[in-house]
Structure 1
C-alpha cells in the first residue's frame, strides 16, 4: 500500500514539475529507431550529451521534435538531427529548452493512444473503471453452465446483473483497508483531473489565430520659456520656444517636457559637452512613476552655470575658456507592454544666446503599429487567469489517466479478492491448502453447529484453532466445516445459489476470546 501511494505521489510530482512527457512520432526522420505512430516517453534531465535522443519544442505551437544530439552544448545550444535526415535541424535548443530525453519506447503506442484520448475513449475508460466490467466476466466464468441462469435470477432482484456486480464491487471497496481507500480517492481525483484536462485540451485546436491590438499613441514634446524686459529684441516680455534667448536680456529659462500616452515611469537627463571632447551627464528628473495619460516635468536651466561648467573643464585640460557648451536633453518613458520611448533635443549655449540646434524636432512620437494576426498556442484560462497551454493540458491528461487507471486496477484487483465466494470452484482455487476432501459425516449428537456467514470467517477460525477445513458434497449443497472440541463451524454453499441457512454474526466474538457459551446454535 505504501508503494502504491508512493507511486501516486511520484507521478503527481513528475506531472506538476514537467519531469515526464511523451511524444507521438510522425514522419520517417528517426527510422529505423522509431516509426510512424510510435509512443515515446521522455524524462527531463539536468544535462544532455551527444548521442542521446531528445525532445524539444518546435517552431509551430504544440510541435515536439524528437531527434538525436550530434553536437553543441547545453549553454549555447545543441545541434540535433534525425537519424534518417540528411540535414541538421534549424533550431539549437539549450538544456533549459529541452522537454527531456527518451526513456521508454512503445511501438505503435501512439496509434491506440490517439483514439483512447478522444472524448469517447476517455468516457469509455471512465465507465469501465467505475462499473468494474472485468468483475462480471470473472464471476460468469466461475459459475457452472447448469447453474448460471439460476444464479443470475437469484442476484437480479429487479435489476440487471451488471448493476448487481457493480454493487458487489462497491461493497468490497467499502471493506478495503484505509490505505486502499486513500488510494481509491487518489485514483478518483486523478481520473477527474484527466477527464477535465482532456476535454479542455482536445475540445479545440492547439493553436489559435489572434489579432494584436495597435500600439497606443505616445509622444514627448519639449518647450521652454523665459521672462525678458521690454526691448526691441522681442515683441513682449515672454520668450517661448523655438525663439532664441539672448543672454543679455535673460540668463535663465524654464524647460518643460510633456508626455502623452499610457502610464509608466519618466526620466530626464542632460549631457553637457564642448569642442575639446569633454562631456558630463546630469540627471534633471529622477525616475518618476505616474498614472494617467499625461505627465509634465519642468526644470530650470541656468545658462551661466552650464557655461561655467564647460569653461572649468577646458581650463583644467589646458585649452582655455571656450564659453560655449552643447546640451543634449533626453526624456524617456517606460510603459508596461510597450517599447521604451526616448525623445532627444539639442540646444547650444554661448556667450551671446541660447538656441536649439537647426532642424530640431520638439515633438517625438512612438512608431505607430497596426494590428496584425499572429498564431499562438491556445491558453486554458479560468476566470481570466491562464493555467497552461492546450498542449500541456493534453500531456498532463495522458499521464494523469495512466496513473488513475494503474491505481484503479490495483484497487479493483484487491476488491475482487474480497468478493464473496459463492461456488466451490472459487473456494478451491483460493484456499487449496486448507481443504480436505472427506466423505459426508453427521454432526455429533448433542453438539452445537454454528453456521458462519462467509467463507473467510471459516478460514480465520481454521487458522485460529489450527484445524483443516473438511469438505464434502451433498445433493443440495457443498459443506465446509471446522471442528473444535465438540463445536462444528459450518459454511454451506447451496447449489440453488441462495442460502436457506441462518447467518450468524459470530466471527467478531470468536476471534477475540472464549466463545463456547456465547455462540448461537442450530440443530444439525
Structure 2
C-alpha cells in the first residue's frame, strides 16, 4: 500500500502546486482577486473571515455576487446584484436592509465570486504570519532529521537480528540530512525552491503585518465648501403678501413688485476670490451671461454678499434676443452663480430661478443651499517599488501564500526524489555489478596457515576470483563489509566500512596481513 499511497500523495501535491501556480498567475494578471470578508452584510452566505476568490466574467446579471471598489476607493464590497444593467447595477448585501449607495458599471466590477473557502481568510492570515513562516521552515528541516533518525534505528534493529547480520549482503552507509538534495541534478532545483521559499517568506513578512494602504497626507485633503442662498424683494401692500417684503422660498409676483430682487449668498470654505454672474437661457436655446459683481478677494474662511436682479432689464435683454432669433422668450431661466476660486480649483454653485411675465420663483425648491463635502485624497496602496515595477501589499499577500505553498511542495517532492535516487553506497554497487560472484556466509576467521592479502579495491578482487575460477565469500559485521577469495595458500581480502571495526576484526584473525596494490 505504501507505493500507491505515495503516488497518490505525490499526485495530490502536484495538483495543489499547479492550482496555486495558476491562481498566482491569475492574481498577477488581474483576472482574479482574493477577498477576505468582513462584517455580516452577506450572512448566511459568507461570514467574517471567509476567503472568496472572484474572477472577471463576460457579463454580470441579477443574482451574481460581485466585488467592487466602494466609492471608487480601495475598500472592496462583496454584495449581490439585484437589478440594473451594465451601465449601473443595483447591489445589496443579503443581510442588509437597504441597497448600496454605489451603482458600479460593468467595467468597475472586480469580478464574480467563483470559489468560497469558509474561514480561509483567517487561516491564510495565520499561516502567512512571520511566526508561522518560521515554524514551517523549522518543521521542514526537522522532518528530514526525524526521517534520518528512523532509518538509523531500522538499520540498528537489522544489525541486532542474527539472520540479517549473517546473511545480509550489505548495509547502506549513513547519510547526512538532505545530502541527496545537494547532489546533481537536484542541486539547481533545490536552490531555486529554497530561493522561492525565502522570497515568499520575506514577501509575506512584509505584506501581512502592516496595512494594505497608507493614509494620504493631511495636506492633500480637500476642505469642505458650502453656499447658502436667499432672496428678498420689496412689494406693494396687497392681498398677495402679509407685508411689504417677499422672501425666499416664496414666489415674487411681478404685479406688486416695487423694485429689484436682492439675492444674498454666504460662502463657507477656503479663502480665495469670488465673482458673481447671472446665466440667462430660454427654451429656444439662446443663452447669455450677465456680470453682477466684479472679482473680490476674501480671507477668514467665509464670505457674504448681495447682488441685485433687475428683472425688467433682464427681460428686455431676452426680448431683444427673441426678436432677433424668432425663438420663444419665455420662460426665462436665471442662474445666479457665485464662482469661488480657492486652492487652485473653482467652486461654482448656482441659485436657479424661473422668470415668467407673472412671477419669479425657485426652479429647484432644494436650491437654496449647496454643499461640497470635505474629501481627502484616496489612501495610497502600500507597495514595494523597484524602478517601473511595483507590487502592492494587497496582491503580495496571496502571492506570498501561494509561493510559500508551492516552494514547500517543491522541496518535499525534491526530498522524495532524492531518497529514490540518492547515490548508492559501495556495498550496493558491488552487489549490483558482481552479485553473481558473491556468496553470503557467516563471519569467520581466516583458516590458520594462510597468508591474508588485502587488495586496495574490489575490482582487483573480482579479477582474481575470475582468474582462479573462485567465488567471493561475503559477510557484514559491525558496519564492515568483508569480501574474501580463498586460494590454496592465500586469502585475498577486500574490506569497506568504518576504520575502527576493521582494525578490531583484523586483530581477531591472528593471521599475518599483507597489503597488495595491483
Tell me if both proteins adopt one fold, taking TM over 0.5 as the criterion: no
Give the TM-score normalised by structure 2. Answer: 0.45
Q: Which has the larger helix fraction? A: 2
Q: Which structure: larger Rg?
A: 2
